[in-house]
Amino acid sequence: MSKLVILTGLRANNDLHLGNYLGALLPMIDMAKKHAGEYQINLFVPDLHSFTTPINHDNFQASIMDNLRVFIAAGLPLNNPDVHIYRQSYVPAHSELAWILNCFAGFGELSRMTEFKDKSARLGIDHIGVGQFDYPCLMAADILLYRAAYVPVGEDQRQHIEFTRTIGARLNSKFGKLFEVPKSMAETHKFFGADQGLRVRDLLDPTKKMSKSDESGKGVIFLTDSPEAARKKVLSATTDSVGLVNHDYKNQPGISNLIDILKYFGEDTKVFMGQSQYGPLKERAANVIADFLENFQASVKQVDDVHLLNKLESSEIAMNKAANSTLLRVQQAVGLRPKN
Q: Is 311 a catalytic residue?
A: no
pLDDT at residue 153 in the model: 86
pLDDT at residue 196 in the model: 56
Shared fold status for 5-198+304-334 and 227-300: no
Which residue in the list 177, 183, 190, 209 is annotated as catalytic? 209
DSSP string, 305-331: HHHHHHHHHHHHHHHHHHHHHHHHHHH
139: enclosing H helix or E strand: helix 130-144
* Domain edges within the chain: 5-198+304-334, 227-300
pLDDT at residue 15 in the model: 83
Which residue in the list 3, 33, 34, 119 is annotated as catalytic? 119
In this structure, the number of other CB atoms found within 10 A of the CB of residue 65 comes to 16
Which residue in the list 117, 212, 233, 282 is annotated as catalytic? 212
In this structure, the number of other CB atoms found within 10 A of the CB of residue 317 comes to 12
* Average confidence (pLDDT) per 10 residues, the chain, 340 residues: 86 86 90 91 94 89 93 93 96 98 94 82 77 92 96 88 97 97 93 74 94 80 96 96 94 96 95 95 97 97 96 97 97 95
User: What is the CATH number assigned to the segment(s) 227-300?
Assistant: 1.10.240.10
Instruction: Report pTM.
Output: 0.88
pLDDT at residue 194 in the model: 58
CATH 3.40.50.620 fits 5-198+304-334, yes or no: yes
pLDDT at residue 117 in the model: 77
Q: Is 212 a catalytic residue?
A: yes
